[in-house]
Amino acid sequence: MDQQSKPGLIVAPLTPFTADLAVDEPALRRQIDYVIGDCGTTMVVAAGVETQEYTYLGLEQRKALIRATVEAVGGRVPVMVGISHPSFRTAVELAHDAERLGAAAVQLLAPLRPFAGPPTQSDLIAYFEAIGRETRLPITLYLNPGPGADVSIADTIALAKLPCVQLIKESSRDLARVSRLIVEIDRTGHARYFTTMQMLLASLELGGSGATMPPPGCEIARHVIDAFVAKDYERAAEVQLQFALFPSKWMHRGLAPTMKAAMNLIGVPVGDPYPPYAPLTREESAALAAFLRTTVLAHRFERTAAA
Amino acid sequence: MDQQSKPGLIVAPLTPFTADLAVDEPALRRQIDYVIGDCGTTMVVAAGVETQEYTYLGLEQRKALIRATVEAVGGRVPVMVGISHPSFRTAVELAHDAERLGAAAVQLLAPLRPFAGPPTQSDLIAYFEAIGRETRLPITLYLNPGPGADVSIADTIALAKLPCVQLIKESSRDLARVSRLIVEIDRTGHARYFTTMQMLLASLELGGSGATMPPPGCEIARHVIDAFVAKDYERAAEVQLQFALFPSKWMHRGLAPTMKAAMNLIGVPVGDPYPPYAPLTREESAALAAFLRTTVLAHRFERTAAA
Amino acid sequence: MDQQSKPGLIVAPLTPFTADLAVDEPALRRQIDYVIGDCGTTMVVAAGVETQEYTYLGLEQRKALIRATVEAVGGRVPVMVGISHPSFRTAVELAHDAERLGAAAVQLLAPLRPFAGPPTQSDLIAYFEAIGRETRLPITLYLNPGPGADVSIADTIALAKLPCVQLIKESSRDLARVSRLIVEIDRTGHARYFTTMQMLLASLELGGSGATMPPPGCEIARHVIDAFVAKDYERAAEVQLQFALFPSKWMHRGLAPTMKAAMNLIGVPVGDPYPPYAPLTREESAALAAFLRTTVLAHRFERTAAA
Amino acid sequence: MDQQSKPGLIVAPLTPFTADLAVDEPALRRQIDYVIGDCGTTMVVAAGVETQEYTYLGLEQRKALIRATVEAVGGRVPVMVGISHPSFRTAVELAHDAERLGAAAVQLLAPLRPFAGPPTQSDLIAYFEAIGRETRLPITLYLNPGPGADVSIADTIALAKLPCVQLIKESSRDLARVSRLIVEIDRTGHARYFTTMQMLLASLELGGSGATMPPPGCEIARHVIDAFVAKDYERAAEVQLQFALFPSKWMHRGLAPTMKAAMNLIGVPVGDPYPPYAPLTREESAALAAFLRTTVLAHRFERTAAA
């Protein structure tokens, strides 16, 4: 990943499903064209975060989704493959698949201890070292308490110092935590630190490496990053503000349903969430459309209306 | 499960692994003989709870573990098969396998919402109803916040009222919660309520249906239940007290390592925990042995010493 | 407190207020006659727990409440005076007042660290030792996470070993925690362990010292304790069951409003909660009355109806 | 407070204690000269946040601290007086004192419900409205879960809409929460939103009103604010970065001990934390000094060394 210059914009495409709950590959391809062609994505994640709804899939379906993602990207940008799985052996199998597919990295959730109690630092280090021995690809440490462990500041720093861990994907919105970790991990060269939509500009200012997110957040993020790189900090802050209400106001539905609704609204349809989760109601969707028309995504609506 | 009279003792055998991390089937069979023959288990769980370390296994390994468990039980008591899996379709596939294997029930974790935020009551009901439509086996609602969702009292009652949910396995040690749910769910006939080691006697007194646990806790539990049924309540309380320190004092290692150590000490060896989790140290194991010699398991040590 | 034989029933009277929010002393006296005369209370708490709504009072009002409580008890049973206060010096002042009033003990909440972060074990020990040096009265360690610190098992044991700490009032309903602490603290003689309504019978069976609670829970508790002492364990369990729904089903209103409503219903009126908290609605109160008529409190309704 | 132009820098002086735990008024005055004269503080808080260690004080001591603070400020900037107290009547009494002292505002913690369960929105609104009726001073809503309630986004917005609430002091470092609230509360004109050290620059960029903090954080914050106002955003970000490690790396000791150590190091001595909390060890203090020499506070060390 050395060739990746800061700041990075890592995008996790949403997973479109057909009526019979297979992956809708044409819709996936159109979406990937959007995130690479229109959003300046610097890396694509294949089946790496929960918002990609990959956890619903059986193993073969998940592998097919990874393959389809790599093919759709077609070498335009590097791909990072999610290998998180409760089974250690399956995680390694997914890493080997990723190597064969030409992936640039793998992403691995800091795991819960399967029986009661949080994992210790030595549990966590043993786990990442064991995976690191099995693959030559760099590992992205994925921090997402809930699905994964709630890793302390000290334990995160210890993991970041492992040679196999070269990137961190942090889901926390705790700016005190993230400020400290960017300074102790990214600025010291242990690993590159990536955060989320709401944290993007603050992370860039602190010296963080960027953010990862689903579309269409990435189109907003592209404007933030371009303004920041151009040193137009007022513009950067003005666009960052668009993440204050979106997706927060619709999060009672969950992130995947909200982002899918937004994509459908801007003319890059990706269908409904995997059942039993519900799409936004008509009213919620209308309110979302009204909000998105006030953002840098407004031009998508004109295009849609004109079509 | 109508033929099951109260109180029930549902046992989740630990999973013994060989040096190359395959399931050690002979050790599994010996353990199952112990839990049925010596502990009066009324139902065996196959790959249903995290302490069984099934989450580490790939899907085919997991299915093999389920099959091996059913075969080792050999019809002596009913078997309940764990079908919890992030993939809805895999859960259904496991339920169909369970039917073919002659299982009496399936056990299903109340799932986390894969994207941010807790599941709503309608999310949870939709999920259990959808699984219920796919299998004719009764479903055990498995409540274990962390790996699964933290389900409120109101949502637990709503799920218990579903016709497909006939049994509940509750991991909480919150006696205020459990008291209320036993009264509102078990005593009203919506579902049978099973708790844990530390909650066993309190649950029986409230009218709960019993408890589920790994060995060798189940041998202690058998003494509690027999004394309770014989109305020897002082004896029941005296034995229940053995769960005050065991396994609590060794839980920094986790439940699976502690129970495996206890089984190894009483002469029913089940090996070490799946890596990267560590077994008890020599000192911890010695302290555990000293404690177990003060419990109803003491006779196992004499037998072991004599052998 | 040596003369106190197990099991103890420590009662915290509710605080009745007049229309202008002064303490209604006649109502307090009638209530204390009820808890001592009718409920067999073994110790009364003066302004010790939050349900007594003492935290709303200014310091002089609080001292007046303590004095009024001691006078109303009139030496019939020992009194334990709550001295919890953010100011160390005020806590000591309250302890000295308690000595002058002839109190048998003081009750002290394990304090939050006033600035960010939980207190360390040495913070907690330093705090209790410092108070212990200032008073000759035994101290009850009061554990109630939220208003106070969330004290770990190890830290609770360390505090229980202090000579000045002779009693513990535990608010947790976690039976795994409480089982272990009763064994490691009460059965070993470090301190007497008291729990709550929902935990009463389970605590007695484990060898705990009893429970503390507001009225009219204490009348139900008296029946549990008497049956337990008489070795009528079936009756004890049958009455304990009355705490499964009461007060749980009305707790969205809070404990003080629920218990005040119950007292008003059984004919020992104590008024409404201190504003801005609301009393139960008419419908909630009717449902509570219907429930209480199914408990050992039913005879109070006949008496009230007859009057 | 209308005359206050954005961005604001609200400072909460630390409370220096003499050997016998009285407030050290000369040290307080020197500190207030520092925060007003050297840091460009726009408002001073008297006994408003826990880091000011006011919760240890008895009521008369607390009133004396408030008076001493107002006198030391001497009208140079407005003063906001903390009135948070478990007793409603004492809070009102403190508000009336604040009026007499010429305070510009009062600060009031969103209170915990004293008995179990979180306060409802109507509890919270009733509470702030009741206080608002008793004072003509504008109220600052102080949000600090732990000592106070954990107020949801919806409840915070509802409180901000009360006419008596004109300012909000938010302790959360959750940038997703704060982003949304600044947009929904401050940019819409309901109330001015103030955050914390680590959140300062991000808050200013979103349109927030500033931050509140203890010294010497406020000297760093002054540089951030001045650079931001001068549109020197690179400088603003560079200085903001100094809050990434300070105070985070010393927070195991707590905020008051860390900030007191920092003040002692830069030559504005404020003594040790109130017992039983411990000051930084010699090693911790040396590490803190080494770090502070790399910040905008470095010039203080030269001055100190020269003296």
Give pLDDT tens digits for C154-174.
999 999 999 999 999 999 999
Name which of B115, B130, B274 is nearest A276 (Cβ-Cβ).
B130
Q: Does D277 touch chain C (CB under 8 A)?
A: yes
DSSP string, chain A: -TT-PSSEEEE-----B-TTS-B-HHHHHHHHHIIIIIT--SEEEES-SGGGTGGGS-HHHHHHHHHHHHHHHTTSS-EEEE---SSHHHHHHHHHHHHHTT-SEEEEE-PPPSSSSPPPHHHHHHHHHHHHHH-SS-EEEEE-BTTB----HHHHHHHHTSTTEEEEEE---BHHHHHHHIIIIITTTS-EEEE-GGGHHHHHHHT--EEEE-TTHHHHHHHHHHHHHTT-HHHHHHHHGGGTTTTGGGGGG-HHHHHHHHHHHTT----PPPTTSPPPPHHHHHHHHHHHTTSTTHHHHHHHHH-
Region C191-201 average pLDDT: 98
Averaged confidence pLDDT in chain C:
94
Q: Does A248 touch chain D (CB under 8 A)?
A: yes
The residue type found at B161 is: K
Distance from CA of B36 to the nearest CA of A (A): 24
Contacts of B293 (CB under 8 A, 6+ apart): B301
Give the residue on A whose Cα is nearest the Cα of B61: A87
Task: Read off the pTM.
Answer: 0.94
Question: pLDDT tens digits for D74-103?
Answer: 999 999 999 999 888 899 999 999 999 999
The pLDDT assigned to A2 comes to: 41
Question: pLDDT tens digits for D266-284?
Answer: 999 999 999 888 899 999 9
Question: C59 and D58: CB-CB below 8 Å?
Answer: yes
d(CA A169, CA A80): 12
Extract the tokens encoding C215.
């009225």
Higher confidence at residue B21 or residue B82? B82
ipTM score for this prediction: 0.95
Extract the tokens encoding D280.
């930084």
d(CA C86, CA D87): 13
Give the residue on B whose Cα is nearest the Cα of C251: B176
Region A92-108 average pLDDT: 98
Question: A179 and D198: CB-CB below 8 Å?
Answer: yes
Query: Is C155 within 8 Å of C181 (Cβ atoms)?
Result: no
The residue type found at B100 is: R
Chains that touch C (3 or more CB pairs under 8 A): B, D
Residues of chain D with Cβ-Cβ distance to C55 below 8 Å are 86-87, 114
- Residue C25 main-chain phi, psi, to 5 deg: -65, -40
Extract the tokens encoding D300.
């203080």
The pLDDT assigned to B218 comes to: 98
The pLDDT assigned to C277 comes to: 86
How long is chain D?
Answer: 307
The pLDDT assigned to A276 comes to: 81
Reply yes or no on whether the pLDDT at D4 is more than 60: no
Within the 187-246 window of chain A, which residues sit less than 8 Å (CB to CB) from chain B? none
The pLDDT assigned to A306 comes to: 52
Question: A88 and B130: CB-CB below 8 Å?
Answer: no
Higher confidence at residue B72 or residue B304? B72
Q: What Rg value do the Cα atoms of chain A yield, rounded?
A: 18
Percent over 90 (pLDDT), chain A: 88
Max intra-chain CA distance, chain B? 58
Averaged confidence pLDDT in chain B:
94
The pLDDT assigned to C3 comes to: 41
Q: What is the DSSP letter of D289?
A: H
Reply yes or no on whether the pLDDT at D264 is more than 60: yes
d(CA D166, CA C38): 52
d(CA C119, CA C113): 5
Region D4-22 average pLDDT: 90
d(CA B291, CA B303): 17
The pLDDT assigned to D80 comes to: 98
The pLDDT assigned to B304 comes to: 60
Question: pLDDT tens digits for A107-160?
Answer: 999 998 877 778 999 999 999 999 999 999 999 999 999 889 999 999 999 999
Reply yes or no on whether the pLDDT at C1 is more than 70: no
Question: pLDDT tens digits for B244-292?
Answer: 999 999 999 999 999 999 999 999 999 999 988 889 999 999 999 999 9
Q: What is the DSSP letter of C44?
A: E
Closest CA to C237 of C221, C224, C222, C219: C224
Reply yes or no on whether the pLDDT at B306 is more than 80: no
d(CA B224, CA C223): 24
Contacts of C229 (CB under 8 A, 6+ apart): C7
d(CA A22, CA B102): 30
d(CA C100, CA C63): 12
Q: Count Cβ atoms below 10 Å from residue C21 Cβ, excluding itself.
A: 14
Query: Is D187 within 8 Å of D162 (Cβ atoms)?
Result: no
Reply yes or no on whether the pLDDT at A203 is more than 50: yes
The residue type found at B205 is: E
The tokens 């990207």 sit on which residue?
A73
Phi-psi region of B102 (alpha: psi -120 to 50; beta: other; left: phi over 0): left
Reply yes or no on whether the pLDDT at B116 is more than 90: no
Percent over 70 (pLDDT), chain B: 97
Cβ neighbourhood burial of B282 (10 Å; 0-12, 13-18, 19+): exposed
Phi-psi region of D40 (alpha: psi -120 to 50; beta: other; left: phi over 0): left
Strand partners, B143: B170
Task: Quickly state the pLDDT bin for B302 (edges 50, 70, 90).
Answer: confident
Q: Count Cβ atoms below 10 Å from residue C75 Cβ, excluding itself.
A: 9
Extract the tokens encoding A185.
């991990």
Using CA atoms, how far residue C107 sits from A229, C95, C143, C160, in Å, is: 61, 9, 10, 13
Catalytic residue IDs of D: 142, 169
Which three-class secondary structure state does DSSP give residue C224?
A: helix
Reply yes or no on whether the pLDDT at D50 is more than 80: yes
Region C216-234 average pLDDT: 98
Reply yes or no on whether the pLDDT at A244 is more than 70: yes
Reply yes or no on whether the pLDDT at D3 is more than 70: no
Catalytic residue among A34, A54, A127, A142: A142
Which three-class secondary structure state does DSSP give residue B174?
A: strand
Q: Count Cβ atoms below 10 Å from residue B174 Cβ, excluding itself.
A: 17
Question: B244 and C183: CB-CB below 8 Å?
Answer: yes
Distance from CA of D93 to the nearest CA of C (A): 10
Task: Quickly state the pLDDT bin for A277 (edges 50, 70, 90).
Answer: confident
Question: pLDDT tens digits for A4-41?
Answer: 567 999 999 999 999 999 999 999 999 999 999 999 99
Question: D243 and A179: CB-CB below 8 Å?
Answer: yes
The tokens 């890592």 sit on which residue?
A10
Q: Does D173 touch chain A (CB under 8 A)?
A: yes
In the residue annotation, B6 being an active-site residue is answered as no
Q: Count Cβ atoms below 10 Å from residue B251 Cβ, excluding itself.
A: 17
Chains that touch D (3 or more CB pairs under 8 A): A, C
**Helices C282-292, C255-265: crossing angle, 10 deg rounding:** 60
Q: Count Cβ atoms below 10 Å from residue A67 Cβ, excluding itself.
A: 16
Count of CB pairs separated by less than 8 Å, A with B: 104
Region D166-171 average pLDDT: 97
Task: Quickly state the pLDDT bin for D63 (edges 50, 70, 90).
Answer: very high
Q: Count Cβ atoms below 10 Å from residue B249 Cβ, excluding itself.
A: 17
Question: pLDDT tens digits for D198-249?
Answer: 999 999 999 999 999 999 999 999 999 999 999 999 999 999 999 999 999 9
Task: Quickly state the pLDDT bin for C150 (edges 50, 70, 90).
Answer: very high
Cβ neighbourhood burial of D6 (10 Å; 0-12, 13-18, 19+): middle
Name which of D58, D93, D251 is nearest C90 (Cβ-Cβ).
D58
Per residue in A100-129, is it b (16+ CB within 10 Å) or e — as a string? ebebbbbbbbbbbbbbbebbbeebbbbbbe
Region C122-134 average pLDDT: 95
